[in-house]
Chain A
Amino acid sequence: GQQVMQIPQYQHVQEGEDFTTYCNSSTTLSNIQWYKQRPGGHPVFLIQLVKSGEVKKQKRLTFQFGEAKKNSSLHITATQTTDVGTYFCAGGTALNFGKGTSLSVTP
């Protein structure tokens, strides 16, 4: 079945540094969604990518969907302490989530 892998599992940065997490699927995805989960919280939707090669930006966050629709990335520019949390990618209607990348930011 479809498997979604994310790397790295953990990332620690100093505030102001950039951060990138990568998502890879074993099969072609019709779409990919990204969620953020704060410690003790529940996943919150960030964005959905549908088209091959699609790039979307939300302020300091840039999301990409690979040309083959099997990989995706999330890049955060100039991290802030409010970016702390775990970022998950997920594909399919009944979402198959990756294990997530846990981001910690030191002020």
Chain B
Amino acid sequence: DTGVSQNPRHKITKRGQNVTFRCDPISEHNRLYWYRQTLGQGPEFLTYFQNEAQLEKSRLLSDRFSAERPKGSFSTLEIQRTEQGDSAMYLCASSIRRLGASEQFFGPGTRLTVL
């Protein structure tokens, strides 16, 4: 499978715990994005990387959220001290940088439930 993969697919945790999600993009894609989606809403941008550099981070993103892409390949998204409001589907997408924007390929997502 040459698509974007995400692990785990589901995560249930208790409030206050830390969680970490992983995203493996399409191998030749140099851009990687994280989004959050709740029921009935469109994906909400969280952050994106070009290679290993984090180029943009949503101003709405709490400092409990941190993302890394250490070698410009896979990425991790960590949420510290989870809250019930963090329950959502976390989507990862990747693309190749071109002049202007280019299509993003989404992974299947990690569904987080905070009890």
Contacts and interface: CB of A to CB of B under 8 A. Distances in A.
Do A and B associate with each other?
yes
**Main SS class of interface, A:** loop
Nearest to B47: A94
B25 to A, nearest CB: 14
A31 B42 CA distance: 18
Interface stretch (A41-49, A56-64, A66-74): A41-49
A19 B93 CA distance: 28
B103 A100 contact: no
Contacts of A92: 101
A17 B105 CA distance: 30
For the side of the interface on A, what is the size category? 20 to 34
Contacts of B48: 93-94
Contacts of A88: 42-43
Nearest to B107: A42
Interface in A20-71: 30-31, 33, 42-45, 48, 50
B23 interface: no
Contact of A100 (B42, B45, B101): B42
Given A31-B101, A94-B33, A99 B40 contact: yes
B103 A31 contact: no
